[in-house]
Amino acid sequence: MSEPIISITALNLAYERAGTRNVILADLDLAVARGEFLVIVGESGVGKSTVLRVLIGLAKPSSGNVQLRARPDCRTPMALVFQDARLLPWRRVIANVAFGLEGSGLSKAERLAKAQGMLDLVGLSDLGQRWPHQLSGGQRQRVAIARALAVDPDVLLMDEPFSALDSFTREGLQDELQRIQAATGKTILFVTHDIDEAVTLADRVVVLAGSPGRLAAEMPITVPRPRRRRDAALQEAARQLRMELSNRSAEL
Amino acid sequence: MMALRSTALAAAGLFAFLLFWEAMPRLGLINPAFLPPPSTIPAAFLNEVRLGVWGEAVLSSLSHYVTGLGVGAGAGIALGLLSGMFRWFEAATAWIVRLLRPIPGLAWVPFAIIWFGVQPEAAVFIIAIGVFWIVFFATQGAVRGVDRDLVEVAQAFGFGSPWARLTKILLPAATPGILVGLRTALGQAWMAVVAAEIFGVPGVGARMMQASSLLSTDIVVVYMLTMAALYGLFDTAFVALQGWLLRWRA
């Protein structure tokens, strides 16, 4: 693997609450290659989301090192898509997408033009003037993806972005995301607890398990894209991953 | 159909009320000097307008109202934001607030007159104080209640400074709560206008006191209804503005 875009070494995260020490992550090492679609799976509470929160700066690690090799001209090297879309309800859709561009030195017209381009990319070209409450859950999540892509990050972080959606919408967005990655070449770090989702999307899956969360296993998914959900190779990968997960939780 | 019926009922109720009011002095049950029948009000109103007194009184009251409201609400929003955003600010002001807040706005009248004389500034001051506390607490509470998840969105996109947090998230998110406070203040400020003017600052309240000392109760009623109308006007306009500002809500 060429030089990784993200290298996490010996990451620890713990906090004190009411006198007890809670260790969330212990000695985590993880490297992500440029352009890779890396999926982190694990049960609830193993600290999957925390890894993303540390990367984006919403959580402070207790110790350890995170190194990012972003393009030197990149103003926002990483952008996060939250589990719930978290659109700003007082902004129209287009203004939500343009949110991260404010303060970038672009004029308002340039920001809106860029935002419109992102709406086109996620297939919501005509909904720019809507308010967030007028959108469906799936549309809202597309807007959140457009908002993250608008800042042209090197790495797109996605925290269970499709877990609150119905399965039709979820599968539609999984396909959409693969198309978007093919079109933009972004590195994607994607967290989920859905194994089928993980094998459908990933170039590589890593398993986070235990308490505190440790890297328990990893598995490359070599099934060629575009992937079809009924593909036997994908289902075999999912089966292996399930086995891996149940072994790990039995061990720990 | 229901709406039509309730409108008809409301009109009938008002008509009955006016009829009752008209009957009381006309039947000699109440001295007309103490309670003028409503039929005499339009003539008294036209007379006040003709003399130019009505327009003048309304204009000066409105100017006290708008200025006092602006000053009080401006200060209330500014300090409410500070207090909602910064725990240290809230802590530092907690006992000052506890000391000053229970003092009714009207208790400031002596100082208002000593500091500003019987001048518009005194009325503005009284009105501003009444408005300030309502808006201050509404703003502080609204900022406190802002969804932390939305603040994280700003942080995640690199807007970590307090100013960015305020302008991009806290202020727009707190707007509904601030507007509720402002609407309450709108009503509170009317009370303060009359109170302040009753002490002599020219305006609707002063004109009422003048008329009542001459037992021109019809004129007093003219101004009572004038205030009701003006308040209704402001409140309606405010609700329209509120609806427009909050058009993003479901």
Task: Give just the sign of the alpha carbon dihedral B168, B174, B180, B184.
Answer: negative
Alpha-carbon distance of A12 to B170, in angstroms, equals 32
Give A41-57 pLDDT, tens digit per residue.
988 878 889 999 999 99
**Number of helices and strands in chain B (H, E):** 11, 0
**What's the CA gap between A147 and B79, in Å, rounded?**
33
Mean pLDDT of B5-19: 94
- The pairing of strands A187-192 and A155-159 is parallel
Residues from chain A that touch B170, judged by Cβ atoms under 8 A, are none
Chain B closest-CA separation from residue A86 CA (Å): 6
Token pair 């290659």: residue = A33
| DSSP 3-state of A247 | helix
Residue A249 clears pLDDT 80, i.e. is over it: no
B contact residues 124-163, partner A, Cβ 8 Å cutoff: 149-150, 152-153, 155-159
Cα–Cα distance, A138 to A178 (Å, whole number): 16
Distance CA B105, CA B128 (A): 9
Q: Using CB atoms, pick whichever of B155, B173, B250 lies closest to residue A57.
A: B155
A79 close to B (CB below 8 A): yes
In whole angstroms, give the CA distance from residue A202 to residue A190. Answer: 8
Domain ranges of chain B: 54-245
pTM, rounded to two decimals: 0.87
In chain A, residues with a C-beta closer than 8 Å to the C-beta of B250 are: 133
Chain B residues close to A55, C-beta within 8 Å: none
**Interface confidence (ipTM) of the complex:** 0.90
| pLDDT tens-digit readout, B127-183 | 999 999 999 999 999 999 999 999 999 999 999 999 999 999 999 999 999 999 999
CA–CA dist B232, B243 (Å, integer): 16
Count CB neighbours of B191 within 10 A: 16
DSSP per-residue codes, A155-223? EEEEESTTTTS-HHHHHHHHHHHHHHHHHH--EEEEEES-HHHHHHH-SEEEEEETTTBEEEEEEE--P
What CATH code is assigned to B54-245? 1.10.3720.10
The three-state secondary structure class of B192 is helix
- pLDDT tens readout for residues B170-196: 999 999 999 999 999 999 898 888 888
| Residue B141, Cβ density class (10 Å: 0-12 exposed, 13-18 middle, ≥19 buried) | middle
